[in-house]
Structure 1
Amino acid sequence: MKRWVEGAGAVFHKEIVDALRDRRTLATVLLSSVLMGPLVLALLSGLVASMEERADKRVVVTVGIEHAPTLRNFIERQTFRIETAPDDYEAQLRKSSLGDPVLVLEADFEQRLERGDVPEVVVVSDSSNRQAEAGSGRLMRLLDGFNRERGGLTLALRGVPGSLLQAVEPQERDLASTRSRAAQFTSMLPFFVLMAVLYGALHAALDTTAGERERGSLEPLLANPASPLALVLGKWGAVAAVAMLIALLSVLSFLPARLLIRSETLRSLFIFGPAEAASFLAVLVPLAAGLSALMMAVAIRCKSFKEAQASTTVVILAVSLLPLVSLFNQSGEKPWFLWVPALAQYTLMNRVLRGEAPGVGDVLLPLAVSLLLAGACLAFIARRLRAAAVR
C-alpha cells in the first residue's frame, strides 16, 4: 500500500511539474478563466445600460406627425420627444442602424379623427432589430393610452361615464424575486464557467496521455514498478488539480467583477458573494474531476496529440450543447437534469444565481454521477495502460 501511494504521488508530482513547465499554455488558460467573468459581466452590463439609456431618452420617431396635432399633443404630454424619421428609415431598420420603431401617420389623420372615423397608424419595425423591436411594445402602449383618452373624452361629452367600457380593472403581480429577474441576464455566466473548466483540463489531459505516447515517454513510465492504477491516479490527480484551479479562479473572478457593471439596475440585482462562490465550487469540483477522467479516457486511445484533439472535440461539443437543453425547455426544470453531467451543474448554478439554495440531495446526486463517471474512466485507462505494459 505504501509503495502504491508513493508511486501515485511521484507521478502526480511529475505531471504537475510538466503542466507548470508549459508556461505559455498555462498562462493563456489562467488568464482566460480569470478574465472571463469580468468580461461577460461587462458586456452584459453594457447591453442593459444601452437599453436603459434608450428607454430614458423617451423618443418617438415619426413620419407625418404634422398631420396629427392631437396625437402630437398627447405624446408630448407623456414627456416623449418627437423626432422625424430619416427618408431611408426602412433600410436603416433592416441594417439595425436605426434603433427605434417608426410611427407612420396618414395625411388625413386629423380629418378622419374629427369625423369619428378610425385613422390608420402603422408602427414600422424589424423583428431582427432587437433595439427597435424592444421599443415597439412601448410605442404600442403609448397608442393604446391615446385611444383610451380619446374614447373617454368622447363619452364624457355625451354624458356617459368612461368606466362603463371597462368591465374589470386588471392588475399585474410579478412573482419573480429580485434575483430571479437578474438571472434572466446572467443565466449565461454558468455556461462560460463550465467551458473554462473544460478547456482548463483539456490540454493537461491530452498531454499526459496522447502527448506522452507521441513523445515516447509513456513506455518507460510503464516500466516502473508502480502499478498501472497508481500511474493513472497520479496522472488524473494532476489533471483534475489543474481543472479545479481553473474552476476556483473562474468563480472567484466574479467577486470583483461586480464593480465593473455599468448598469445601476443590474448592479443592484446581481448578488454574488462568498456564499454563492462556495455553492458554485461545490458543484464544479466534482465535474472537473469527472471531465478530466473522461478526456483522459478518450485521449488514451489515440496515438498522437492531434488525433486526441480531434477525438475530444466530441466531448467539448457535448458539454457545450447540454446546457441548451435547459434553455430550450420552456416547461421548467426536469428531475433528470440532475442526472446528466454538465447539465446538472448548469442547472444548480442558475438556481444559485436566482437565490435558491440547492438542497443536499440536489448536490449529492451530480456528485455521485461525476464520481461514477471518473471511476469508470479511470478503470478503462488503467486497463489500457496494463495492456500496453504487457506488450
Structure 2
Amino acid sequence: MTAWTVFAKEWIDALRDRRTLAVVLLSSVLMGPLVLVALSSLLASFESRAERREVVLAGAESAPTLVNYIARQGFTVKPAPADYEAQLKRAELGDPVLVIPQDFEAALKSGDLPRLLLVSDSANKRAEAGAGRLQRLVAGFNRERATLALALRGVSVELLESARVDERDLASPQTRGTQITGMLPFFVLMAVLYGALNAALDSTAGERERGSLEPLLMNPAAPLAIVLGKWAAVTAVALLIALLSCFSFIPAQWLLRGDALAALFQFGVHEALWFLAVIAPFAAALAALLMAVAIRCRSVKEAQASTAVLGLGVSLLPLFGLLNPGAEERWHFWVPALAQNTLMTRVLKGEALGAEALGVSLLVCLLMTLAGIVFVARVLRRAAVR
C-alpha cells in the first residue's frame, strides 16, 4: 500500500512538470521521425536527380561519338559551366563533370587511348553520388567500341569472357529495409534514457535539494516500499515515452518521400509492440541504475554530472553494431543497451528473437534492477537512521 501511494504521488509530480515533459517529448519522441523525414528528403533528392538522367560534360563538342552513346542510353547532356570547379567546391553544382580533350575523336580514329577527366568533390555528396554513374557510362562506351572493333574483324566477343557472373541477393525485403530502419532502435533507447533521466533525478536528488526527502523518511514506512514506489513511477514514465516513441514511427511513414524508401520502410503495430516488449526490462533496469547514481547526490546539477557517464554508455553501446557490422556474437546479449539494440534489429529483419537471447537480456536487466533498488533502499535506510 505504501509503495502504491508513493508511486501515485511521484507519477502525478512527473506529469505535473509539463515543461520538462514537453522537452522530453520533443527531444526523444519527435527526434526519430524528424530524422527519418530529413533522410527521406535527402534520398528523394538523389532519386529525382537519377530520374532526370542528366550528365554534365566539358568539351562535349569534341566527342560526338561519346555524346551519341550517352544520348542512346537515355541521358541528356548538359554543358559544364565555365567555373565548374569553383561551383563543385561550393556545392552549388550537384553533378560531377566529365572533361573531354579536344583530340578525343582523332585519338579514337588513330587507335590511341584518349584520356578523360572526371572532376568531382568528395565533400560534395550530391556530386560524389553521380560519379559512379558517369564511370559506368564511360565503361559502357568502351565495351561498345571494343565489341564493334572485334565484330569488324570477325572475332566473337564471347572469346574475351572466361566466365559470367549472375547475382542473387539472399536478403529479404525486411532485411534490406534495415538499411533505413536500422536507426530506429537507437532512437527508442535514447527516448527511454531521457524519459527516465528527469524522473529519476527529480525523485532522488531533487528530493534532497528541496529538503523533502528527510520528512518522507520520518513516516512509518519501510525504505524499500518508498524505493519501490519511486522506481515504479520512474519506470512508468520511461515506458510512456518509449510507447510514444515506438508508435510515432508509424505515422512518420506517411511523410516519407520516394516510393523506394517507403517500400523499404516496413514498421507497423507488430514491430512497435515487440519493441516495447524488448525495451521494457531495460527501462526498469535503467530507472533503478539512474536512481542509484543520483541518490547520493545533493542537487540535481550534481546528479546530472554523475549520470552523464551512464548516459554516455547507453548512447555509445548500440553504435558498436554499426561500427562492427559483422555477425552477432553471444556476448552481445550480456551487454545492456547493445542487447536491446540487437534484439530490436532482429524484429526489424523479421527474424526470431530466440529464447536464449531473450532470457539472457532479461536476466541481466533483472539483476541490474535488483542491485539498483537494493542500493537505493540501503542509502535511504541509513539516512532514516541518522
For 2:151, the equivalent position in structure 1 comes to 156
For 2:39, the equivalent position in structure 1 comes to 44
For 1:94, the equivalent position in structure 2 comes to 89
**1:301 matches 2:296:** yes
**1:187 matches 2:182:** yes
* Percent of residue pairs identical: 64
- 2-structure distance, mates of 1:161, 1:57: 36
Contact 2:93 2:127 in 1 (8 A): yes
Contact 2:31 2:187 in 1 (8 A): yes
**1:314 matches 2:309:** yes
- 1-structure distance, mates of 2:139, 2:69: 11
**TM-fit CA distance, 1:262:** 1.4
Counterpart code for 2:217:
L
**TM-fit CA distance, 1:357:** 2.9
Does the residue aligned with 1:51 lie in a helix, a strand or coil?
helix
Superposed CA RMSD: 1.4
- 1-structure distance, mates of 2:291, 2:18: 21
- 2-structure distance, mates of 1:105, 1:315: 57
Comparing 22-31 with 368-377, greater Cα deviation is found at 22-31
**TM-fit CA distance, 1:259:** 1.4
- 2-structure distance, mates of 1:224, 1:15: 16
Counterpart code for 1:18:
D
Q: Which of 328, 331, 341 is the equivalent residue of 1:333? A: 328
- 1-structure distance, mates of 2:356, 2:283: 19
Counterpart code for 2:221:
A
Q: Which of 367, 375, 379 is the equivalent residue of 1:380? A: 375
- 2-structure distance, mates of 1:259, 1:53: 19
For 1:368, the equivalent position in structure 2 comes to 363
For 1:288, the equivalent position in structure 2 comes to 283
For 2:55, the equivalent position in structure 1 comes to 60
**TM-fit CA distance, 1:31:** 4.1
Counterpart code for 1:177:
S
For 1:255, the equivalent position in structure 2 comes to 250
- 2-structure distance, mates of 1:130, 1:223: 63
For 1:27, the equivalent position in structure 2 comes to 22
- 2-structure distance, mates of 1:365, 1:129: 45
Does the residue aligned with 2:118 lie in a helix, a strand or coil?
strand
Contact 1:40 1:189 in 2 (8 A): no
For 1:3, the equivalent position in structure 2 comes to none
Q: Deviations over 1:323-370 (max 9, x none)?
A: 111111032222211111111111111221222231222222211111
Q: Deviations over 1:101-133 (max 9, x none)?
A: 111111111100110011011111222222222
Provide structure 1 residue ranges, at least 5 long, that are not aligned to the other structure: 1-5
**1:178 matches 2:173:** yes
- 2-structure distance, mates of 1:364, 1:91: 58
Q: Deviations over 1:76-114 (max 9, x none)?
A: 100111111222222322333222111111111110011
Provide structure 2 residue ranges, at least 5 long, that are not aligned to the other structure: none
Q: Which of 273, 297, 301 is the equivalent residue of 1:278? A: 273
Comparing 292-301 with 33-42, greater Cα deviation is found at 33-42
- The count of corresponding residues between Structure 1 and Structure 2 is 386
**TM-fit CA distance, 1:182:** 1.5
Does the residue aligned with 1:172 lie in a helix, a strand or coil?
coil
Comparing 27-36 with 197-206, greater Cα deviation is found at 27-36
- 2-structure distance, mates of 1:111, 1:303: 83
C-alpha distance 254-105 of structure 1, shift in aligned 2 (>3 A): same
- TM-score between the two structures when normalised by the length of structure 2: 0.97
